[in-house]
Amino acid sequence: MEKMNTENHIQYIYGIADNSLILGQRLSQLCGHGPTLETDIACTNIALDLLGQTRNYYQYAAQCMGESATEDTIAFLRTERQYRNVLLVEQPNTHFGYVMARQFLFDVYHLLVVTQLQESTDSMLAAIAQKSVKEVQYHQRFSAAWIKRLGDGTAQSHQKIQEAINDLWKFTDELFYQNEHDIAAIHAGVGVDVSTLKESYMTTVTEVLTEATLTIPAETWFRKGGKEGIHSEHMGYLLAEMQYMQRTYPDMKW
């Protein structure tokens, strides 16, 4: 097994953790604005799980980096090009259909990743993954249930969730893209080879969409770039809001 350098290690952690941070941030924008109190509480729970995982990953990354790095410098003081999340998770909360479609398309992938990550030779990552698996199983159960409700609910909900799935589909292929750091992490036995997860992903997604009476998009054109730090235009605004305090009042304790 090859050794990887610290930069690879940290970038690999970002590749996983940034997805949780950005999706957690997106979900937390909805707190207090959900269609029912119950869904509001559930979406906030998912956001809390994701942000909790983010903290575990970032604290570990900060420890690997040493010096003055903290979970907050990692979360709030990087530039847009330094975030490694996939484009899917930064997409806006257009309506509840988009929120659930984004969640579901991510959850199926996320569960496969954390399940495998439990086998990592990096015992800290394996431990975080072990804790996350239980949470992400719930996320997938929740989002899949909503895909079914919306798909097989009313004609209007069917049309809206299909529209969201169609629109977000172009971001799904990037989930299986691997950059140089991912590859180094795989060779070191630390990372998950996500290219091997695509078949399982498609099986689960197809199963749920079919039960929801929805059509699998025929789209073959996909967008990618997030994992290389090339984001959509939505990302800059998300970061401007999220980093506001740290940028306005640098070097203070909160």
Partner 1 sequence: MKTENLKDRAILFEQKIARDEKIEPKDWMPEKYRKTHIRQISQHAHSEIVGMLPEGNWITRAPSMRRKVALLAKVQDEAGHGLYLYSACETLGVTREELYAQLHEGTAKYSSIFNYPTLTWADIGAIGWLVDGAAIINQVPLCTTSYGPYARAMVRVCKEESFHQRQGYEIMTILANGTKVQKEMAQDALNRWWWPSLMMFGPTDAESVHTAQSMQWKLKRKTNDALRQQFVDQTVPQADILDLQIPDPALKWNPERKQYDFGPIDWEEFWQVVKGHGPCNQERITARVKAWEEGEWVRDAAVAYADKQSDATLQKAI
Cβ–Cβ under 8 Å, residues 11 and 188: no
The Cα 126–Cα 246 span in angstroms is: 31
Identify residue 119 by its one-letter amino acid code. E
For the chain, strand residue ranges (E) read none
195's torsion region: left (phi>0), alpha (psi -120 to 50) or beta?
Answer: alpha
| Closer Cβ to partner 1, 41 or 216, answer by number | 41
First to last CA, the chain: 43
Quote the least distance from Cβ 70 to partner 1, whole Å: 9
Least distance from C-beta 52 to partner 1, angstroms? 6
- Joined together, the tokens standing for residue 226 give 């997030």
Q: Are 197 and 113 in contact (CB under 8 A)?
A: yes
CB of 54 to partner 1, least distance (A): 7
Judged by beta carbon, residue 54 or residue 172, the one nearer partner 1 is 54
Cβ of residue 77: shortest distance to partner 1, in angstroms?
Answer: 11
Nearest distance in Å: CB 172, partner 1: 23
- Cβ closer to partner 1: 175 or 239? 239
Identity of the residue, 221 or 249, whose beta carbon is nearer to partner 1 in the bound complex: 249
Binding residues for partner 1 (CB under 8 A): 25, 28-29, 31-41, 44-45, 47-48, 51-52, 54-55, 58, 71-72, 75-76, 95-96, 148-150, 152-154, 156-157, 160, 241-242, 244-246, 249, 252-254
Q: Tally Cβ neighbours within 10 Å of residue 226.
A: 26
Shortest distance in whole angstroms from residue 118 CB to partner 1: 23
Query: Which residue, 97 or 226, is less far from partner 1 as judged by CB?
Result: 97
Give CA–CA dist 14/3, Å, rounded. 18
Residue holding tokens 């924008």?
A: 29
Nearer to partner 1, 4 or 43 (CB): 43
Nearest to 181 by CA among 173, 172, 191, 171: 191
Residue with token string 């003055």: 68
- Sign of the four-CA dihedral 54, 23, 85, 247: negative
The residue among 31 and 202 lying less far from partner 1, judged by its C-beta, is 31
**Contact at 8 Å (CB) between 18 and 85?**
yes
Q: State in angstroms the smallest separation of the CB of 131 from partner 1.
A: 15
